[in-house]
Structure 1
Amino acid sequence: MELTVGPNQFFWPADTWSAFYDALENAPVDRVVVGELVCSKRLPFYQDRIPDTISGLIDAGKTVFLTSLAMITLKRERKLMAELVEMGVTVEINDLTMLSYLPQGCDFAVGPLVNVYSESTLSWLASRGARHVCLPPELPLGSVEVLAKVAGDLGVSVEVWGHGRLPLAISGRCYHARLHGRSKDNCQFACEDDSDGLDVASLDEQPFMTMNGVQTLSHSYACTDQQIELLADVGVAALRLSPQSEGFTQLCELYRKRVDGALGIGALAEEVTAAAPGIRLSDGFLTGSSGAEWSGALGCDTRKQ
């Protein structure tokens, strides 16, 4: 099973951004998705570094995709998306309007923000040139199995969300800006102070979700430690690891060992929680009754489910 590093969802200083991708050159991952997913206003801070980053990753033997924005609305965003196609790198679409910029017959990848919920959607995307699809993280294991089988027949590789805060929604409004009493157009990049998003609690002080500019994320970190064998058995080709500000290369190494069988079920989660005390893990979308559930906490063996 391959490992993919998804696009960075957060706003980091340009030097931090570059250092992150430099470190990935030596990480045990197969594929890296580069670019801006969440907010086009962040892109100018590191846009000029993207070509060298792509070259470095390719020289290190990684496959590289370029992500589209999750929501393409402005004229300048449409121009930016059209320019992605000209860079000569496979584009991962996260907004279906991106298809209008791809030449007919051009191969592309599909990110987890596109609602690939059915066999017909998957088949249609394959007919348009999709060769790799990361399924939406809210799909249960049974649906993943059905879609993985169809994908295999179509010659499309399937990926699932392996680790990281789950993308739940993208809005036209910026939560971070509003929190600081600013408008979206005058946000002053409020999200830069929260390198892994800003935790949100309910009125009774229960952890609820995480805000990241215009994006809503889960408070918990999805973790597939308990389901890797299940996912491999149903034909999943890759796991997606979502960037985080600390300990990410070590996380990649843990998942590589876990996928290769060098770590048993539960060992990866133990390492993750030891490195970040207080972190909440979840895997309920795959095998639980709600997304926030964590089978490891229940002592469940999900292989029997």
Structure 2
Amino acid sequence: MARIGLTLGPCLFNWSAERLLAFYRGIAENSVYDRVHVGEVVCGKRMPFSDPVWPEVIETLQSAGKEVVISTLAMPSTVRERKALAELVSGDVMAEINDITALASLEGRPFTVGPLINVYNEASAAFFAGRGAKSICLPVELPLSSVAVIAKACEGLEAEVFAFGRLPLALSSRCYHARLHGLHKDSCQFICDRDPDGLAVDTVDGQKFLAINGIQTLSDGVQLFLPTAGEASAHGIKRLRISPHTLDMVTVGATYRRLLDGEMSPTEAKESLLALGLPGAPVNGYLSGGVGASQLELA
């Protein structure tokens, strides 16, 4: 049985340049992730602040033996953003596309596909594989039964599943954070940086509901998919994706690595992760084809 890979996905939140540099230095020096994604996915307005950081971050990670992937913007809406996307995917570092328009700029280069692209069946996965995709992180709403079908139909394509973090659900042309603070999107003052793990949103009845991150909607709960290596392989899963939060991501990665290497049980792994202080309750319902906000024992 092949070893299950461990991916650190892109940071979805508005972290300062200083915080990003310190975070990735720690990941390079101490973590077990074999693949690390960098780059801005959510809001193009953040790019002028984070883009200068990435060359140093990439060099640091590569020097530590990490495979680096640049994740691209999921909803490019201006000429500047579309130009930046084209430049990113044409560089020397493999890119993850999060918007299908990026395909036009790849020119035969290998790439990965992010979970914000709608790949819900084997035909869609085969479309990307035929154009050079090496890996695909499947949409978070897909149950494991569908993951297995897609993985079996596209055996040359690494099937990756979102295993940890608030689930990325949707993007909007409007900025929820700006509206909340009485600001316009064009003059948002980058107010989303006040909530480095996203801002929880309750219903009018006070029930936990979702989380917002600028223009992005996330789950309130935190995905905890804790398969053994055998269970992951049985569904054709080659990689697990861990999404960055402000808690100890080195320990999160080490916990998943020990779980996949058979050194820790799923129950022990769950206890270890809960002890870190998650920003929301654990969830995994989508993986069984149920309600995403539920926490179930997966067969």
TM-score interval (norm. to shorter): over 0.9
Q: Which residue of 2 aligns with 1:17?
A: 20
Query: Is the 2:172–2:216 contact (alpha carbons within 8 Å) kept by the matching residues of 1?
Result: yes
CA distance in 1, matches of 2:178, 2:228: 38
CA distance in 2, matches of 1:222, 1:85: 29
CA distance in 2, matches of 1:90, 1:100: 15
Q: Which residue of 1 aligns with 2:63?
A: 59
Matching residue's letter, 1:203: V
Q: Does 1:95 align with 2:95?
A: no
Q: Which residue of 2 aligns with 1:143?
A: 146
SS across alignment from 1:275: coil
SS across alignment from 2:135: strand
CA drift at 1:45: 1.3
Query: Is the 2:164–2:225 contact (alpha carbons within 8 Å) kept by the matching residues of 1?
Result: yes
CA distance in 2, matches of 1:177, 1:147: 39
Q: Which residue of 2 aligns with 1:40?
A: 44
Greater shift after overlay, 31-40 or 284-293?
Answer: 284-293
Query: Is the 2:247–2:276 contact (alpha carbons within 8 Å) kept by the matching residues of 1?
Result: no
CA distance in 2, matches of 1:203, 1:117: 33
CA drift at 1:109: 0.6
Structure 2: runs of 5+ lacking an equivalent: none
CA drift at 1:108: 0.8
**Corresponding residue to 1:131 among 134, 137, 147:** 134
Matching residue's letter, 2:140: P
Q: Which residue of 2 aligns with 1:176?
A: 177
Matching residue's letter, 2:33: V
SS across alignment from 1:172: coil
CA drift at 1:288: 5.1
With normalisation by structure 1, the TM-score equals 0.94
SS across alignment from 1:106: coil
CA distance in 2, matches of 1:266, 1:278: 20
Matching residue's letter, 2:183: R
Question: Which string of whole-angstrom CA distances, capped at 9 and with x for unpartnered residues, describes residues 157-205 of structure 1?
Answer: 1100010000010000000000011110000011000010000000110
CA drift at 1:247: 1.1
Identity %: 44
Matching residue's letter, 2:105: Y
CA distance in 1, matches of 2:21, 2:244: 13
Query: Is the 2:228–2:262 contact (alpha carbons within 8 Å) kept by the matching residues of 1?
Result: no
- After the TM superposition, which residues 171-210 of structure 1 pair with which residues of structure 2 at under 5 Å, given as runs? 171-210=172-211
CA drift at 1:4: 0.3
Question: Which string of whole-angstrom CA distances, capped at 9 and with x for unpartnered residues, describes residues 107-154 of structure 1?
Answer: 1110001111111111111111111111111100110000111121xx
Q: Which residue of 2 aligns with 1:222?
A: 223
CA drift at 1:12: 0.8
SS across alignment from 2:193: helix
Query: Is the 1:177–1:183 contact (alpha carbons within 8 Å) kept by the matching residues of 2?
Result: yes
CA distance in 2, matches of 1:14, 1:209: 27
Question: Which string of whole-angstrom CA distances, capped at 9 and with x for unpartnered residues, describes residues 204-250 of structure 1?
Answer: 10010000000000000001125764222122100000000121111
Query: Is the 2:13–2:198 contact (alpha carbons within 8 Å) kept by the matching residues of 1?
Result: yes
Query: Is the 2:142–2:286 contact (alpha carbons within 8 Å) kept by the matching residues of 1?
Result: yes
CA distance in 2, matches of 1:113, 1:277: 23
Q: How many residues align?
A: 295
Question: Which string of whole-angstrom CA distances, capped at 9 and with x for unpartnered residues, describes residues 79-117 of structure 1?
Answer: 1111103431111000001111111x2211100011111
**Corresponding residue to 2:35 among 31, 34, 38:** 31
CA distance in 1, matches of 2:292, 2:228: 14
Query: Is the 1:159–1:238 contact (alpha carbons within 8 Å) kept by the matching residues of 2?
Result: yes
CA distance in 2, matches of 1:87, 1:151: 27
Query: Is the 2:90–2:106 contact (alpha carbons within 8 Å) kept by the matching residues of 1?
Result: no
CA drift at 1:40: 1.0
CA drift at 1:49: 1.6
Q: Does 1:166 align with 2:167?
A: yes
CA distance in 2, matches of 1:18, 1:9: 15
Query: Is the 1:273–1:279 contact (alpha carbons within 8 Å) kept by the matching residues of 2?
Result: no
What is the aligned-residue RMSD (CA, Å)?
Answer: 1.3
SS across alignment from 2:266: coil
Structure 1: runs of 5+ lacking an equivalent: none
CA drift at 1:15: 0.7
